[in-house]
Amino acid sequence: MKIILLAGGLGSRLAEETTRIPKPMVEVGGKPIIVHVMDIYNQFGYSDFIVAAGYKSILLKQYFSNFHLVINDITVSPALGSCALTPLMTRDWRISVVDTGAKTMTGGRLKRLRDWIGDETFMVTYSDGVGNIDIDALLAFHRSHGKLATVTAVQPPARFGNLELAEDGARVSEFTEKVQKHETWINGGFFVFEPGVLDYIPGDEEPLEQAPLTDIARDGELMAFKHYGFWHPMDTIRDRQYLDGLCEDGIPPWTAVARPRSEALEPAE
């Protein structure tokens, strides 16, 4: 099954990094965030990736064209004119990097990949968000309901504290630091789609998250898979530093080692 990684945006909130490189190439724990995302799928046996590139796509092409050198050591014999790999890890992956346009929106990127996708079920996610998603359970849920699309619903990280004000509007009756008090669910990526989803996307200028998914939900064809475990985007420098710190602490929580129970939601609205 093909895994499409949306990797073409500007990453303007990470401008400190993304003036040089595309956002998916920003490193976390010593390797690009996109490779962490690919590893999530690979833990479940998925290895056929299509990178929907755009902004600075040549850097993604250069990186993956030399990926065998990145993940292994080499032994060079100048006199013999030879260079041999010393394998450190095995990643039997197929990676296609496709330039889907510098200014194309997320929906348009998928539309441009129609010939790559073919007539089979496929998975899609963003190249800048990680989570210990149970991919097997996600796919089983998608196949069980028979709809066009499944989105993984996640709870957003608590970024701000909460102030409860008394009736006079000035006295603080309760102060809570970064605690999520209410069950809120958002789009966490990690989609499973049938090819019919592409029929909802008119062209390059259509963000997947706007009219296409809204219309699919209106037609009763969008279901949500509820993920209770770890999930975190890399939207800002602070996010990158947080994820980097988790890698330094040991096994990052988005690996299969810490895989939690997930469950289905009612149809998405």
Cβ contact 8:18 at 8 Å: no
Residue at 165 is within a domain:
no
Residue at 262 is within a domain:
no
* Whole-angstrom distance, CA of residue 41 vs CA of residue 48: 10
pLDDT digits (tens, 9 = 90+) for 95-128: 999 999 999 999 999 999 999 999 999 999 999 9
Residue at 118 is within a domain:
yes
Which parts of the chain sit beneath pLDDT 50?
173, 258
| Domain that includes residue 56, residue range | 2-149+185-256
Extract the tokens encoding 228: 């209770």
Q: What is the CATH classification number for the domain harbouring 99?
A: 3.90.550.10
Extract the tokens encoding 249: 């602490």
151's CB contacts (< 8 A; 6+ apart) are 187, 188, 189, 190, 191, 213, 222, 223, 224, 225, 268
Do the strands 149-154 and 191-193 form a parallel or antiparallel pair, or are they unpaired? antiparallel
Overall number of domains in the chain: 1
Q: How high is the pLDDT of residue 258?
A: 47
Residue at 154 is within a domain:
no
Residue at 37 is within a domain:
yes
Q: How high is the pLDDT of residue 176?
A: 53
CB-based contacts of 38-44 (< 8 A; 24+ apart in sequence): 38/3, 38/5, 38/93, 39/255, 40/130, 40/131, 40/132, 40/133, 40/135, 40/254, 40/255, 40/256, 41/3, 41/123, 41/135, 42/91, 42/93, 43/135, 43/255, 43/256, 44/135, 44/136, 44/256
Extract the tokens encoding 78: 């100048």
Number of C-beta neighbours around residue 55 at 10 A: 20
Amino acid found at 81: G
Q: How high is the pLDDT of residue 164?
A: 55
Do the strands 82-86 and 172-176 form a parallel or antiparallel pair, or are they unpaired? unpaired
Residue at 171 is within a domain:
no
Residue at 44 is within a domain:
yes
Residue at 193 is within a domain:
yes
